[in-house]
Structure 1
């Protein structure tokens, strides 16, 4: 018995001693006296419809997580960075390329090879669009879709308000695509109509908000059929977004109106007709000639009674989603209405794609950024007539991280993470192993035949946030992508002062 008591006493002493060591973080264990570290000082957008990729950790990446946007360490020295990049810039795929690296905190140029030469930016155009759209909307501004009473007691009007991400059913308050729900709108309208004793209605559609052509004449003829882009319209369903190899409806407004009519029918409201004032010849699905302004303005009644309304996710979160998905249609939709809102009353010059592109350049210039030589004829970057410089792209990136432009900042946080998400999920991997920038670079890709681009930010080995842009002409896509990835990884691994 004495031996048992002694053994238990020894075990207890050892347990208490080990717990003390564990608490002091001297041996492995769950106990600790360290305070919980604060979250990184970064602005977080609303939950996106796509899976939100967490910051990488040592368990998911050989590299450390993407750090804070400001560090105490010094930026690389220009000579040190030039030496680190000497081998990369001799890669054949970068023979005709513009490459720029800058310090995100000071804006200082650390490396510049042809940074002032204009080239096709492809989808990195969306960075300029985000900067322009961010000035037209308040940080938390949303888009409203509503139904009003028409000119007659039995007429209701579905008013397009710029939301192309409406869920066909119930809305999800945590989502970006699908925040507003068409079924929720139908519930409100059906209830209001029943209260008025109205059970039979004609449904009209008001498309007077931000009118314009459905597609750009400078886009490839096959782009819509391939799901690269959909019809640019101010009303649409999240379930009908264009995706690669999945074409969107040619008439998203008509499709949404038909779905809304069906939902009303399910709620006991008979819809006798769906009217589209000024619709293009050929009925629903018909497409106006590229370059036209689309359906003319409807005639809303003075001070109409609103029967129901739904709200989209904030525009800044939609911009972030557009960058995450490289969504050409969503980008064009947001840019068109931003230009429409900014135009003087009665002016429609910004309605066409080239007008919106010119407006984007003007807005970027008002931010104090040099835009000389830049030309945009669309907002998404699908046109080969777009021309910008790598230096201009880095100007926008530096501006986005200065903390003064919350809409642009949130949009930049939507850029894919190297090796983990979006259009970068399968990149920055060489021979099955992550490259140096994997997990710590965020960037917007751009790909057109013979034109490849990559622009974004990366944390180097010293923890300093740098921004970069690379525009490549003439090289095949795969070699160009590999070379741009090697360029960014060399910047990430530099830490050279």
Structure 2
């Protein structure tokens, strides 16, 4: 009996001790959870925001529009911050003097302007011609905005050739096709290749066609895929993708991940696979002339105010003609991209060189200009000049800024920014809203976050980086609510030093008041 009792007592003691230990652990963890020292459902600190997406039309971060006089108040009310809050040239010069004395800015051009009045507050060598790098995209955005209507989209269509068993995939300028179903809320992947295949397969089934030869019509804005002034490594390292009028969103080039050398062939192969999966026997025709009338049989929507092929005499004359209901040239399927304004904003957010070149090339083509890189660069300068801006000495041999032969003045970049914020050019303004946000998105995600964090979340700017040439151009809302435009172009300094100095410049402008 004694032995039996002595066995049961420890068993009870161990069970109670184990239970109390478990309770203590749970209570301790709950305390840590509430104190945010351990993960759990009881934490008092709000969850961090999800990381930003690659899309412009589908955001996980709040859209922070910059204020402008025309869009914020009706004339003749005073400016946003009030006339007495306007910065002065003396105030800006005084605040920026220590920054401009930094060794990294020894060879620099800097311009600061009042974004609400356009007044020049500081101009240090703003009239010098310098390598703009990717700030070139601001000029391209201004030029593209004059060609495309504000809500215009791009269509990728499939038409019948000369015979019912010939189908022609027509390149229409959309390089962001989803490889599968499209996402109507996205920019990259808005139109889906699988959706197009479903339409074509259904059209062929109605006509009793089960076997086809697939062609590609590449007459729209055709041209070279890379520029002769670019380094041969730019495409192979993902700095830029190949420039083509068809492409998949899943194959966009990024640093360290190159896209395909031939995006059109990649789209054609994917489309053939999707038709085959839907029961259509497909033979892929060699590249070359496609049967039927060149160009899309569908007019591009929203072309009022934007020239079409028939207006410019370019080979897209058929683009303005309605497709026949049946027979040669009849429409078998059609998908529509996100608006060009959103694609342009995405190109600026991500500093997407290929996407910028693709949009600029087709804008130049629609205007009757050439489609090689230097011709498009020259067209961009002409369009900027047509806005009434001085382009003396400015020269571009591409639209993205990858070429070291490009030359632009800082004061011209400031002119474009001020013009974009005055509310008279909707597509340019939408593009500027897509500029990277300091500390949050795009190429500024990891900048202006340290000692210069005062500008985080309220500075938007286009970065520019080539070896020995760095630039930053954009706008910032100051502490007093005033919109200020800035441009900095630096030569001869190391990239890290140049970036740090330019970030300090922006942070100073944001916080100085400058009166």
Question: Does the Cα contact within 8 Å between 1:166 and 1:177 map onto a contact in 2?
Answer: yes
Residues 76-103 of structure 1, C-alpha deviations (whole Å, 9 max, x = no match): 1100110000100000000000000001
1:424 correspondence with 2:432? no
Q: 1:165 aligns with which of 167, 172, 176?
A: 176
Question: Does the Cα contact within 8 Å between 1:85 and 1:487 map onto a contact in 2?
Answer: yes
Residues 110-148 of structure 1, C-alpha deviations (whole Å, 9 max, x = no match): 001000001000000000000000000000000000000
- 1:320 corresponding residue in structure 2: 345
Gap change, CA 1:265 and 1:311, over 3 Å in 2: same
1:365 correspondence with 2:385? yes
1:74-85 equivalence runs, <5 A: 74-85=85-96
1:127-142 equivalence runs, <5 A: 127-142=138-153
Distance (whole Å) between structure 2 residues aligned to residue 142 and residue 66 of structure 1: 23
Distance (whole Å) between structure 2 residues aligned to residue 117 and residue 404 of structure 1: 28
The answer for unaligned runs of 5 or more in structure 1 is: 1-45, 56-64, 280-296, 344-348
Deviation for aligned residue 1:50: 7.1
1:448 correspondence with 2:466? yes
2:130 alignment partner, SS class: coil
Residues 266-307 of structure 1, C-alpha deviations (whole Å, 9 max, x = no match): 11100022332169xxxxxxxxxxxxxxxxx89989951000
1:82 alignment partner, SS class: helix
- 1:193 corresponding residue in structure 2: 204
TM-score (norm: length of structure 2):
0.79
Distance (whole Å) between structure 2 residues aligned to residue 152 and residue 251 of structure 1: 28
Gap change, CA 1:256 and 1:67, over 3 Å in 2: closer
- 1:465 corresponding residue in structure 2: 483
Q: 1:356 aligns with which of 363, 376, 380?
A: 376
1:161 alignment partner, SS class: coil
| Structure exhibiting the larger radius of gyration computed from Cα positions | 2
Deviation for aligned residue 1:366: 0.5
Question: Does the Cα contact within 8 Å between 1:145 and 1:163 map onto a contact in 2?
Answer: yes
1:119-158 equivalence runs, <5 A: 119-158=130-169
Distance (whole Å) between structure 2 residues aligned to residue 483 and residue 274 of structure 1: 55
1:444 alignment partner, SS class: strand
Distance (whole Å) between structure 2 residues aligned to residue 452 and residue 237 of structure 1: 31
Gap change, CA 1:403 and 1:423, over 3 Å in 2: same
Q: 1:181 aligns with which of 166, 174, 192?
A: 192
TM-score (norm: length of structure 1):
0.82
Q: CA RMSD in A?
A: 2.0
Question: Does the Cα contact within 8 Å between 1:66 and 1:459 map onto a contact in 2?
Answer: no
Distance (whole Å) between structure 1 residues aligned to residue 236 and residue 175 of structure 2: 19
Question: Does the Cα contact within 8 Å between 2:56 and 2:434 map onto a contact in 1?
Answer: no
1:18-37 equivalence runs, <5 A: none
Deviation for aligned residue 1:429: 2.5
Gap change, CA 1:191 and 1:278, over 3 Å in 2: closer
Distance (whole Å) between structure 1 residues aligned to residue 67 and residue 289 of structure 2: 52
1:62-461 equivalence runs, <5 A: 68-70=67-69, 71-73=80-82, 74-277=85-288, 304-343=329-368, 350-430=370-450, 433-461=451-479
Gap change, CA 1:83 and 1:314, over 3 Å in 2: same
- 2:42 corresponding residue in structure 1: none
- 2:297 corresponding residue in structure 1: none
The answer for unaligned runs of 5 or more in structure 2 is: 1-53, 70-79, 291-314
Residues 397-436 of structure 1, C-alpha deviations (whole Å, 9 max, x = no match): 0000111111000000000111111111111123xx5532
Higher helix proportion: 2
- 1:54 corresponding residue in structure 2: 62
1:393 alignment partner, SS class: helix
Gap change, CA 1:298 and 1:121, over 3 Å in 2: closer
Gap change, CA 1:67 and 1:197, over 3 Å in 2: closer
Gap change, CA 1:47 and 1:325, over 3 Å in 2: closer
Question: Does the Cα contact within 8 Å between 2:55 and 2:188 map onto a contact in 1?
Answer: no
Question: Does the Cα contact within 8 Å between 1:66 and 1:439 map onto a contact in 2?
Answer: no
Question: Does the Cα contact within 8 Å between 1:202 and 1:275 map onto a contact in 2?
Answer: no
> Number of residues paired by the alignment?
419
Deviation for aligned residue 1:202: 0.1
Gap change, CA 1:473 and 1:192, over 3 Å in 2: same
Question: Does the Cα contact within 8 Å between 2:81 and 2:480 map onto a contact in 1?
Answer: no
